[in-house]
Amino acid sequence: MIKHINSHKSLILIIALLCSSMVFAQNGNKRKELETRRKEILREIQEINKLRSENKSKEKSELSQIEEYSYKISVLDNLIKITNQQANLINREINNNQKKITGLRDELRQLKEDYAAMVVKSYKSKNQHSRIMFLLSSNDFKQAYKRLQYIKQYANHQKEQGEAIKNKTLELQALNKDLLKQQEEKKVLVAENRSNQKSLQAERKLHEELMISIRKDFSKYTAQIRKKQREAERIDREIDKIISAAIANSNKGKASSTSSKSFSLTPEDKALASNFLSNKGKLPWPVDKKMYIKTRFGTQPSSIDRNVTIKSSGVRIAVPKGAKARSVFDGEVIAVFKTKNSSPGVIVRHGSYVTTYKNLSKIYVKQGDKVKTKQALGEVFTNTSNGETLLWFRISKGVAKENPANWIYKM
């Protein structure tokens, strides 16, 4: 019965340890994930600050400045959120470790008390004469053998208890060491968050000061936003026309209609499209230098007037002056284009998929060229008045727009 109870206790202890190990592993993975994301955001903030510093002497429009402040605020908000999550996770680990340490101390105290009692008992019957008499007083050989086994087991148990005390002591020392490390990590994160909070307050102050000026003539700026949106939509339509013409050209003489929205694919095109799709989420960035996303894909409220929505069919990527646009995958240049009031661009076909790179100052390729992954297509245009160097990048299947963040690695 006693043996059954002990076995049951051991089973419960093993299950508890396994659960504890699983939680610890999950927390470890979560911490790594958060730390990776935190470092990415810190790098992004460094790039924002660097580009700001380079263009400090340039005079920017209020719209451009508000976009910058709003973006920096959102990035800092995200960083603070992630840092708080890290601190909370470490705090939970600290609490768990403190509970483990308390439990281990209790176990160690009990082990030492048991061991002390065992030593006293052993001392009282340690002389060889007592042991011999204990054996000789046996009723028969079987009982004498059992008593000899008991003496050996008792000695082994005493040794095991000594080892258990040693192991528990080492485990306790390791936990205390981990606890000190975790407390130090938490201290660093808390200090970093205070610094980030100050930066956030400074950005919000600059944002609000500029918004006070903008609100004096709010309708003018709202009109500018709407005008920029109409211009972006016009350029989108022109790009769609170019792609639609390429689709119609690929369907000439084929059974499919020339009004089809998808390319007629050769076996080679099918293989290329399949490879492109299989690399979803792993494609390289469409620029060769460090960068950050200034405008993301999809419908979003304007940073000035929340009632005005901005629809973006691609992403705008802020890069250093002299950055090169590069192909994100093997393909064929189906157009080098220039729209009204806009810098030139390049369209590359990857089987049934298309990538567009707009706002270039120099073009390195021509229509019909076969290009490789990461091959330079041109230099990104730099606006001399405000110093901004922005690449407009789009991915589509035919003319159906896709979110580049789902395709580009860590976008």
What domain range includes position 61?
Answer: 2-215
**pLDDT of 107:** 73
Distance from C-alpha of 278 to C-alpha of 268, rounded to nearest angstrom: 15
Whether the predicted pLDDT of 113 surpasses 80: no
Examine residue 221 and state whether it is found in any structural domain, yes or no. Answer: no
**Which residue in the block uniquely carries the two structure tokens 């600290």?**
94
Rounded mean pLDDT, 292-307: 87
Structure-model confidence comparison of residues 390 and 46, the more confident one: 390
The pLDDT tens digits for 137-181 are 666 767 766 766 766 676 666 666 667 767 777 777 777 787 788
Tell me the DSSP string of 82-116: HHHHHHHHHHHHHHHHHHHHHHHHHHHHHHHHHHH
Answer yes or no: do 195 and 236 share one domain: no
Answer yes or no: do 258 and 373 share one domain: yes
Distance from C-alpha of 371 to C-alpha of 401, rounded to nearest angstrom: 22
Answer whether 371's CB lies under 8 Å from 354's CB. no
**Which residue in the block uniquely carries the two structure tokens 């008992």?**
121
- Counted domains in the chain: 2
Model confidence at 24, pLDDT cuts 50, 70, 90, reads low
Answer yes or no: do 101 and 193 share one domain: yes
Answer whether 321's CB lies under 8 Å from 353's CB. no
Rounded mean pLDDT, 361-374: 97
**pLDDT of 80:** 93
**pLDDT of 120:** 62
How far CA 384 is from CA of 58, 60, 388, 398, in Å, comes to 8, 10, 8, 34
**pLDDT of 9:** 47
Query: Looking at this protein, which amino acid is placed at residue 273?
Result: A
Which range scores top for mean pLDDT: 85-94, 181-190, 371-380? Answer: 371-380
Output Rg (C-alpha) for the chain, integer angstroms.
35
**pLDDT of 168:** 73
Structure-model confidence comparison of residues 136 and 109, the more confident one: 109
**pLDDT of 353:** 97
| CB-CB neighbours of 294 under 10 Å | 19
Whether the predicted pLDDT of 13 surpasses 60: no
How far CA 396 is from CA of 69, 210, 249, 355, 400, in Å, comes to 30, 37, 18, 6, 5
What's the angle, vertex CA 145, arms to CA 141 and CA 150, rounded to 5? 145
Answer yes or no: do 131 and 203 share one domain: yes
Of all residues in the chain, the percent with pLDDT exceeding 70 is 79
Answer yes or no: do 383 and 243 share one domain: yes
Examine residue 225 and state whether it is found in any structural domain, yes or no. Answer: no
**pLDDT of 262:** 87
Enter the tokens of residue 303.
Answer: 């940073």
Answer yes or no: do 177 and 254 share one domain: no
What's the angle, vertex CA 76, arms to CA 72 and CA 78, rounded to 5? 120
Enter the tokens of residue 372.
Answer: 């490789």
Examine residue 351 and state whether it is found in any structural domain, yes or no. Answer: yes
Whether the predicted pLDDT of 5 surpasses 50: no
Task: Find the CATH number of the domain harbouring 335.
Answer: 2.70.70.10
**pLDDT of 6:** 46
Structure-model confidence comparison of residues 106 and 289, the more confident one: 289
The pLDDT tens digits for 221-251 are 888 888 889 999 999 999 999 999 999 998 8
Whether the predicted pLDDT of 26 surpasses 90: no
**pLDDT of 23:** 55
Distance from C-alpha of 62 to C-alpha of 233, rounded to nearest angstrom: 22
Distance from C-alpha of 380 to C-alpha of 94, rounded to nearest angstrom: 49
